[in-house]
Structure 1
Amino acid sequence: MSVVGVDLGTLNTVIAVARNRGVDVITNEVSNRATPSLVGFGPEARYTGEGAKNQEISNLKNTVSSLKRLVGRSLSDPDVQIEQNFVSARLVQCNGLALAKDVEEEYTNEKGEKAIRIVREPFEIPYKTEVGTEVTYRGKKTPFAATQLLAMFLSKIKETAHLELKLPVSDIVVSVPPWFTDGQRRSMLDAAEVAGLKILRLMNDTTAAALGYGITKLDLPAADEKPRRVAFIDIGHSNYSASIVEFKKGELAVKATAYDRHFGGREFNMALVRHFQKEFLAKHKIDIFTNPKALSRVEAGAEKLKKILSANQQAPLNIESLMNDVDVHEMVNREQFEKLIAPLLNRVTVPLEQALADAKLTKDDIEFIELVGGSSRVPAIKAEIQAFFGKPLSFTLNQDEAIARGSAFSCAILSPVFKVRDFSVQDIVNYPIKFSWEKDDDIPDEDTSLTVFNKGNVLPSTKILTFYRKQDFTLTAEYACDSKDLPGGTSKTIGKFSVKGVKAGPKSEFMICKLKARVNIHGILNVESGYYVEDEEVEEEIKEDGEKKDPDAMETDDKKDESKPRTRKVKKQVRKGDLEIVAETESIDAKTRTSATVYEKLMISDDVLVARTEDEMNKLEGRIYELLSKLDEEWAHDEAFDPRLFNRDNPDPKLVVAEKEKLGKILEDRKNWLFAEGGYENRPEPTLAQYQSSLIDINNIGRILERRYRETAEEKSNAAKGVQKAAEVNKDEEMTDAEAPKPEVEEPQVVG
């Protein structure tokens, strides 16, 4: 079983996994430690992560970003209207989830004949009203709700983790901004289930960072000592959160959390973009806001420039042929940049003041200030925060990966597979929740609403509610705060819970109903169960341990029957049966979720098939050009071949030419078939099987010629080596004859 933590960011997503020796951040298919949080749509397939990033500029209208900020929201929300400034695809209102069915379609084939092919026709199934986007997918205009778009990206996260771990991936912990509402959190869970994932916990960003900080510390105060108080500040691409956390050995408790929902790196980028828009308009008479591609390129340039300015005093922006063949070159220094973002810098301390006030603490009570998030690297922001607290900042955590690591630790704690040091995590409820109900005429003085979970209550938290009723009734759960405290446009209603099976009992005028309300580990409210009780007299054993015995009492032979304990009759509420709870919340019903899951798997299969088909097409194209090149160059001269290798019984050199001409004709035919002019309109897209078959046909002939050429080359090489060797032997023999000593001839001696 896998243990995976995911920091789901607006710009990038980081994945961490727990292994035997700790927690590692894994890389994606191009070895990046962060994956772009994007989903794109092409003519035949989807693109997610790096694939979507690569085609973003050329396919802006069909590429969707800001996935987590759209999920669970409505198009009419003011916050969503703000998101449209950062999302290149057109946002629409979706009243259902997109599905598809296969239907028959008539077309004209290459021969001009009428034929039938199977095409996929999109349709919608009812779902809650949610913002989404309309894209062109498989040749059809298709609206996808934000929940479905997020599910597509989570499928990519699942695949990336699976390729790294070589294990099935199911259980994960995902981080979310602490200001996420009940509806947004439910949509996150729904998206994960559609992607085939089970979220063990939706964890607030700063809480995840705090867990990653505390679980590795061995010097935390003991339970009876003063807690260590740390401020965790997370400034990411679009969100700013601050939490005050108290640590003791083996536990952390979040005391308060505050946030700014529209403060982050993209706001800094936009300040630069607006500056460049004015500069380009004045110098070059071009308006980048009228050209989406130009605007996207400037935004990308502003992002890079901002990062350079975090470590340097000035940075350039150079973009060739931005608009109307105009090249732009600008230089920005850090002082200019800080003036551009001055209105944002004035907001830096607001969440910090709010968090301290909610925690009922002062700046002096905070011992350490930990900064995480990419945008916390901006020098001006660090200076503002340090000036506010009046003490040095801490950077002991990896700013880009701390939240993912903390999420992975949380997943390991919740997973039965890993043994982790015991560490308790107490988060808090960020929005107060109340229940309201219709007034019962038989109880004139009854209140009709009650705040059950206050802001700052420990999370998870359970409350038992008691009602006296004669018939079925409904509870309405709402946020007990001002609308301005909620994300823009969010409804205050969380859901409705109908209690069924209520009727007066034979012994009472009312049924006593007990309902279990719980804000669970994800921060989601549910009325989990209901039951009814009756007042009954029951026998209760009297405990004698506490009774006093008179030391002067006389002992007698009369003894009590110790086999029967003393009891007394008391009235108690005895559980008699369960009540049915029917919930009306923003979660997807089981049937709809199953349909969406099946369609997601179908789209994954389509993506895999398209990828394999493109791969085979590229192989076929490469092989065609490889063999054509050999025919034109390496095999251009017939004498390069030994005719006997073609037909040893009839070694006719003409066979060489015929064989090459045959291969050349096949290659030209296949090339024309592969790149037929208007082929995609006049015939169906070639299938994977057709590409594979064509590649096999070409290889069968190409390999014969390659083998013959290789064998001929080897024969010539061997022959050349033989001649060389013979020449060397002859030379050696000549040298031997020349250098051999001549026999000495002795002159006959005359003996006198």
Structure 2
Amino acid sequence: MKDYYNICAFISCILTITLDRNFQVNDGFPFSIALSWNGDSQNTPQQTLVFPKGNAIPSTKVLTFFKSSTFEVDVLYVDPNGLQIPQKISTYTIGPFQTSKGEKAKLKVKVRLNIHGTVTVDSAIMLEDDVEVPVSSANEAPNDTMKMDTDDAPSDPAVASDVNMQEPKSADTAEAAHAAENGPQDTEEKSVPMETDAKVEPSKKKVKKITVPVHELVYGALAAADLQKAVEKEYEMALQDRVMEETKEKKNAVEAYVYDMRNKLYDKYSDFVTSEDKEGLIAKLQEVEDWLYEDGEDETKGVYIAKLEELKKVGDPIELRFKEWEIRSSAVSQLVYCINSFREAAQSTDQKFEHIDMSEKRKVINECSEAETWLIEKKQQQDALPKHANSVLLAADLKKKAETLDRFCKPIMTKPKPAPKPQTPPVAENQAPEPQTPEQQQSGGESTASEGAAEEPRAEQMETDKPEGATDPSA
């Protein structure tokens, strides 16, 4: 415990130093953890230190194994003599797995030290090399994107020679057949397929990743069935805690209602309840209070809910009468303001209301008069009742009446003015010709002359177009 306080004091000193340097506090693991497994040839155990003492938490490391069959990996303490605990922590069985080539498989095993200080083997992945078909230079862009997942490998000369031999042979054969069928062709036409021929590249090695199952055995831990039972028991206990908390909240709600209602009955609710109902409710509140501290100390949530509803059945009408009396005046004022506003607008001679038809204005005035009559009648009925009687003029009814009036009158009184008709200027019957400049007169004369000159050839053409057998009328 003393070391714990020293560590806390050290961390506090670091965090309170006001210097330009940035400090960082990292958690360190207090033990050394190693992995142990059996070799394939001599079946001798091999061991490697994975997380030395003081290793940062959390931490993840990946180990590479070359195995031909299922194997086991033990997680153990390096020096457990002073710890008085077993050296072996857990055992992980990695497999089964099978390689396609029958050689030793290359496995990447991920070991994790989590924030709780627990060492686990998270996953195991087997890597296999697959040779891809050689690709042409026309597909260079896709090859560049796949280089991240592939590794360069020495090309197989047999495969390369087969590809190099087959592709030119097929090209020459196709060319010879084409030449024999169509005859000799131009050299330019022959060079086109040569430029588009694919260039063979060395084959590439693609890494295939296969997930290998990992089975865990933790020494001193609960079995899977016992662990499941413990989880279910924990869930039941959490449910009980929640029910107990909700029961306590309902009990406190009953107690708070008893105190609050009793105080208000002597204060602001006194005018809104008869003396007989007041005495009966106070007696009921006292009875419930005595029950809470005696027989109702450890009741269920449903019992407390029923008690609260029983009290509210008597107390809610009193509270409702008080709230209606409190907000009624503001609701009445709002309705009166709405009635007066629309009626004044309908009776106004302002220019902004001149475009509204008089019959429409009369509808607004009649609607306002009906709402005012309803309000006067209801208000007279309400004023004749005592405060402890149920209200006949409710704030909700007043609000609804104001909304109805607004919905009817507002579209009429806010109707926009019609757009004015566009005025066209009068057209003069006899307009004097505009004076022309000398240039315009000259251009006008030239155009007239050109028109005359253009008409003369047409007249001559019409005279020459005579039938061969026609006679001259002058003769």
Structure richer in helix, relative to its length:
2
Q: Which of the two has higher C-alpha Rg?
A: 2
Give me the TM-score of the superposition, normalised by structure 1.
Answer: 0.28
Structure richer in strand, relative to its length:
1
